[in-house]
Amino acid sequence: MDNFFSTRHSVRVFDNRPVSRKVIEEILKAAIHAPTTGNMQLYSVIVTDDVDGKSKLAAQHFNQPAAVNASAIITFCADYNRFEKWCLAREAKPGFNNFQSFVAAMLDATIVAQQFSVIAEMVGIGTCILGTTTYNANEIGELLSLPSRVVPVLSLAIGYMRDDEPDSPTERLPVDAVLHYGKYSDYNDNDIDRLYAEKENLPENVEFVKENGKKSLAQVFTDVRYPKSNNEIFSTKFIEYIIKQGYNL
């Protein structure tokens, strides 16, 4: 079991058997027992498994391989719409048009997505999170006809794992890089050197730096993968969409 979690990794190329709706529903039936704020289940799960729908969605995820190859793209949304409709139908005055409510719904959606992912992996279905969901939340919201108070926060590309899917995990920092006892103990230059040494010296990362013509792996992240200008554009876009969907910020 330990080994199951320690060797898991995201899957971006899938076997071509489709994952049936019945299987998706069974996984979700188990996953909804994941924790949720006040048992309100502040999320909705939208499954896109038709060719046309997938290709339109994949475009909003910059046609990254996992999205293009997926048997289904599942979009997990922060959702106060259903709960609020219930309140209004029961003479209860909802007060959820605010940031704290959005955050609760975002936590709920993220948690159920991760639970879905774990259960899927246990039955041989690979998954890859599409972190681009919050970049193009408005375009995705339009494709999926999301009403007010519903905001996509995370998507999973899913498909059966290939028989020859390697059992090797992606490298991570040593556990003491992220673990603190009692208080946060901040990092000095020596800590940083020590904690990032293994990652920086991995042959594939050394190669990655060379390919990108950069001086360090960190520069690939700041200049190529997550440049400040992009982060700022997508921040403004996402904030505007959250407000449009009815959460004051």
Task: Restricting to residues 44-63, name those near its own copies by CB under 8 A.
Answer: 44-50, 53
The DSSP line for 134-171 is GTSHHHHHHHTT--TTEEEEEEEEEEEPPTT---PPPP
Taking the complex as a whole, how short is the minimal distance between the CB of residue 61 and its own copies, in angstroms? Answer: 14
Question: CA angle 91-96-100, nearest 5°?
Answer: 150
Taking the complex as a whole, how short is the minimal distance between the CB of residue 102 and its own copies, in angstroms? Answer: 9
Site for its own copies in 180-199 (CB under 8 A): 180-184, 186-187, 189, 192-193, 195-196
Query: Using CB under 8 A, which of 18, 124, 131, 213 touches its own copies?
Result: 131
- Residues contacting 230, CB < 8 A, separation 6+: none
- The Cα–Cα gap between 249 and 239 comes to 8
| CA 85 distance to own-chain centroid | 27
Closer CB to its own copies, residue 16 or residue 170?
170
Taking the complex as a whole, how short is the minimal distance between the CB of residue 221 and its own copies, in angstroms? Answer: 7
- The Cα–Cα gap between 117 and 125 comes to 8
Closer CB to its own copies, residue 127 or residue 160?
127
Query: Using CB under 8 A, which of 16, 22, 145, 210 touches its own copies?
Result: 145
Closer CB to its own copies, residue 19 or residue 154?
154
Q: Is 25 a residue that touches its own copies (CB under 8 A)?
A: yes
Query: Using CB under 8 A, which of 167, 170, 203, 210 touches its own copies?
Result: 170
Task: Give SS3 for 191.
Answer: helix
Q: Is 166 a residue that touches its own copies (CB under 8 A)?
A: no
Taking the complex as a whole, how short is the minimal distance between the CB of residue 136 and its own copies, in angstroms? Answer: 12
- The Cα–Cα gap between 101 and 247 comes to 8
Site for its own copies in 92-121 (CB under 8 A): 92-96, 98-101, 103-104, 106-107, 110-111, 114-115, 117-119
**What is each CA distance from 85 to 101, 109, 115, in whole angstroms?**
15, 18, 26
